Chain A
Amino acid sequence: MIQQRNTLMVDIDTLVKQFQNKDQVAFKQLYGMYSKSINGVVYNIVKDTVIAEELMQDVFIKAWQKSDTYAPSKGRFFTWILNIARNAAIDKTRSKAFKQSRQNYDADNFVDIITSNDNLDRSTDAIGIRKFVTNLGQKCKEIIELLYFKGFTQKEASEELNMPIGTIKTRNRNCIQQLRDMVL
């Protein structure tokens, strides 16, 4: 199992390296691995299918153009692109045009979106994910929403949820552990 996972990591590292050397095939593979996730994160913020996809594509174009600014020692490639995406989406929600067009957008979190997502039924992970979100406690929903989808820091999350920083850290681990049990 570990051996297999190591191979996977080497594969990602190699892909990222090739991507940094402007290898389009490697880029296409990384896009295939992460574009849906990035789209999900961005959609959860902007709540608009068209804007979300446009933003997600801009994020990958930006990553392609600035690929030399990434270094593995700074963090995971997924985390890097996740960061770019969250910032782009939040910037978008702050723009005047966006505010005007989306006066009363709903306050759904990721769980609500997943629950009402028709597309999910056809996905292979659908069963696990559905099970996960159905059983997920309120605190876990909130913590995951803030840390992964909204990009809150531990401190910001602790203030938002009125919870000590240390609790956020361990609670989050438990929540993710539940997710792993369901989908991996």
Chain B
Amino acid sequence: MDIKAYIASGILELYVAGQLSEKENQEVYELMQQHPEILQEVLEIEAAVVKLTASVSPHAIDFESFEAKLKDKDTKVVDLKPRKPNWISYTGWAASILLIGGLLWTLNTKTKLEEELQTVSTEKQYLEIQIEEARDNLAAAKTLLDAIRDKDIIAIPLGGQGDYASSYAKVYWNKADNTIYLDGEGLPNAPEGKVWQVWSLTLNPLTPTSLGTIDDFNTDDNKIFTIANTNESQAFGITLEPEGGSATPTMEQLYTLGVVSSTP
């Protein structure tokens, strides 16, 4: 870099005047650090300008008149710093924190109570359902009882047969509306792949007629099944058959059998 040409360009005079861009200022500053000639030049320009501008001042300047003003302004600034503890402010903050704590606690309690209320409500609904179920059951039982008590009903006990002597069942036959009510309480659950099949029988000659299989036997609660029967039945039997039922009863699997005692 040609230092002399740089100095001669007049850039340093503009630097002191404050007429360079931020980038140019940075550049001159760095060059001043590297080249003593440039630094020297800047110092001389500055000294000359300081003297020239000072000579325009109409009178000498003393520091004392300024000092008073400075102290005045400075004290005002300094005064703001050592603030006394503001107890009203602290109390305010403390109260705010307590209030927030209280609000949180209340909110928490409210949430808990709401949860409890929800639980109670659910329990209540559940109890209502149970009551309704009980009512339904009672109504069903009454209907059943009414059906069995009907004057047209014939009761036929079905006794255990052979190996299954402990089994029993009962058929209530309403000839008026061709319905039988089979009470299978004395029968075990059907093993997997098997179903109970109900038969209507005439005795001379012995002719079985299927009244159907009881597919929902295991899941039924009261084990009472309503079955249509239009036959002139003389006896009823129940056999255990493969799923889907059989055309003729498997006699080895005949669990219970009962004969209709008299024809009304």
Chain A: residues with CB nearer than 8 A to chain B?
Answer: 2, 5-6, 8-9, 28, 31-41, 43-44, 49, 52-53, 56-57, 60-61, 64-65, 72-76, 78-80, 82-83, 110, 113-114, 117, 119-120, 123, 125-126, 128-129, 132, 144, 147-149, 151-154, 169-173, 176, 179-180, 183-184
Expressed in whole angstroms, the Cα–Cα distance for A132 and B117 within the complex equals: 100
Name the distance in Å between A69's Cβ and chain B's nearest Cβ: 14
- Which residue of B has the minimal Cβ distance to A37? B53
**A-B interface, 9 closest residue pairs, ranked by CB to CB distance from nearest:** A40-B56, A173-B10, A37-B53, A40-B57, A169-B10, A36-B54, A39-B57, A79-B18, A40-B53
Expressed in whole angstroms, the Cα–Cα distance for A36 and B60 within the complex equals: 7
- Let me know if A75 and B25 touch, CB within 8 A: yes
| Given known contacts A5-B43, A75-B25, A154-B19, A43 and B14 CB-to-CB distance under 8 angstroms | no
| Given known contacts A32-B63, A64-B70, A44 and B56 CB-to-CB distance under 8 angstroms | yes
| Given known contacts A64-B70, A153-B19, A40 and B55 CB-to-CB distance under 8 angstroms | yes
- Let me know if A123 and B19 touch, CB within 8 A: no
- Let me know if B57 and A43 touch, CB within 8 A: yes
- Which residue of B has the minimal Cβ distance to A77? B46
| B145 close to A (CB within 8 Å) | no
- Let me know if B43 and A57 touch, CB within 8 A: no
- Let me know if A31 and B15 touch, CB within 8 A: no
Query: Which chain A positions have C-beta within 8 A of B9?
Result: 169-170, 173
| B163 close to A (CB within 8 Å) | no
Query: Which chain A positions have C-beta within 8 A of B60?
Result: 36, 119
Query: Which chain A positions have C-beta within 8 A of B30?
Result: 73
